Chain A
Amino acid sequence: MRLCLEARQLACERDGRWLFRGLDVALKAGEVLRVEGPNGSGKTTLLKILCGQIADVDGEVRWQGRALPRARADLLANLLYLGHAPGIKANLTAIENLRWYQALSGDGCPDAQLEAALAEVGLAGFEDVPTAQLSAGQKRRVTLARLALSRRALWVLDEPFTAIDVAGVAALEHRLSDHAARGGAVLVTTHHPLSNVPGLRRLTLDGHRQVAS
């Protein structure tokens, strides 16, 4: 079954201010959708609504044609969400962190594969170092190693480029387009232009107006 995440007539109010109203979003297999807008325009909130974390909104979100929250469990089984916080435990090593994530998602995998994923994000030799000793960018890279391991179809990434260097940005852009080419879908917020991602779709949140292209 082809991946399909849709939202219709979404409206979300925070502190007496509409973040967005009447917003329609559709994300299908093979697409990369970038949510953009100024700080505080509700990008993170929209991402959380679309992956079922926030439910008190108007409008409906449908996963594979079925409305949330009923379809929430199925959505979560296909979701890889990277939030603002790296989600890395400081007193565990990089490989222990990844091992937990893999077990949590139900895709247990051998250590050799975890090491390969860490090497791919430029952390070869740091496998057994407690992540507290890594730099902010390296911690972010441990998080990004999950993308290499994950077999989830839907990636929802909130500012994944934070603290990443130029080479890392290029590699991540390549990974996003590769994932889309393999039939996955990516929903991402970032201030990077993502110029190396072919067929990039944009959704601009700007106060009351939403511009989709």
Chain B
Amino acid sequence: MKTTTSGLTEAAEPVREAGEGLGRAVVATFRRDLTAVARRPGDALTPLVFFAMVITLFPLGISPDPERLALIAPGVLWVAALLSALLSLDGLFRGDFEDGTLEQLLLAPHPLSLLVLAKVAVHWLTTGLPLALMAPLLGVLLALPQGSYLALSATLALGSGCISLIGAIGAGLTVGLARGGMLLSLLVLPLFMPVLIFGTGAMGAALGGGEWLGHLAVIGALLSVSLMAAPIAIAASLRISIHG
């Protein structure tokens, strides 16, 4: 404290400037969310189980014939993974909103966009990445032809990053609504279309023996743009939801 109040030798609380300790706040938020997921692994497992269940339905519902399954496998795997990720998005901010920690996050003297990026990163690590790693196993179930397994995992790993980032905007907008889950799906599904198109495009290219890295690069570009723009939009959507 530069000046002291009369009658006091020194005050304990100096009036401070903003912007100290951003890195520490981001890391702490990341660790806190990761710990919370580790304490309740069921929440993170639900999308994975959903993914497996949906994929299991296709051989039953269409035909166990490997040739027919192989034809639809890339699209089915991608759509099912996308819906599984969507399923978990509704809970991204809801828990924090209900227990009041979201309000506290908004009051932190740091850019909200970077703090929410930590939350989205945890979402991707616990949903998108496991989905991408699990997809080849389910690909076997759908008789996915050789040579496209790597393309499947790689496109899903990057694509799910886009899904987490874009979906978080919708999750932020609907966090204050009692039944926001359905609205969230309607809001963000159209925005997932480019990712889906290039994801399945890469699979098709890989299956045809062509060059699929070009498609992956486009998804990478989409991810880069999302990384730059989405955090700002997420922060704005949360402010709208919380402060009206």
Contacts and interface: CB of A to CB of B under 8 A. Distances in A.
Interface of A: 1-3, 29-30, 48, 51, 53-56, 64, 73-74, 76-79, 81, 83-92, 96, 99-101, 103-108, 130, 151-153, 179, 181-184
A108 to B, nearest CB: 6
Contact of A100 (B20, B28, B40, B242): B28
Contacts of B108: 76, 104-105
B8 to A, nearest CB: 6
A179 B20 CA distance: 23
B226 to A, nearest CB: 25
18 contacts: A1-B2, A2-B15, A78-B16, A81-B103, A83-B100, A84-B100, A87-B103, A89-B95, A89-B96, A92-B39, A100-B32, A105-B109, A106-B21, A151-B13, A182-B11, A182-B12, A182-B13, A184-B12
B107 A79 contact: yes
Contacts of B242: 53
Interface residues of B, number: 44
Interface of B: 1-5, 8, 11-21, 24-25, 27-29, 32, 35-36, 39-40, 95-96, 98-101, 103-110, 242-244
Most buried by A among B3, B4, B15, B108: B15
A104 B13 contact: no
Contacts of A105: 21, 25, 108-109
A55, A56, A85, A104 pick with most chain B CB within 10 angstroms: A104
A55 B36 contact: no
A105 B107 CA distance: 9
A89 B39 CA distance: 11
7 smallest CB-CB distances across A and B, nearest first, come from A85-B100, A183-B11, A106-B21, A103-B28, A73-B18, A153-B13, A87-B100
B163 to A, nearest CB: 25
Given A78-B16, A151-B12, A153-B15, A91 B40 contact: yes
Contacts, number: 137
A181 to B, nearest CB: 8
B21 A103 contact: yes
Contacts of A92: 32, 35-36, 39
B22 to A, nearest CB: 8
Kindly name the residue among B29, B99, B103, B107 whose own CB sees the greatest number of chain A CB atoms within 10 A: B107
Nearest to B105: A104
Contact of B8 (A86, A107, A182): A182
Nearest to A179: B13
Contacts of A183: 1, 4-5, 8, 11-13
A81 B100 CA distance: 11
Given A89-B32, A100-B28, A104-B29, A152 B107 contact: no
Contacts of A152: 13
A78 B4 CA distance: 17
B101 A87 contact: yes
Given A2-B15, A73-B19, A103 B103 contact: no
B18 A103 contact: no
A87 B36 CA distance: 14
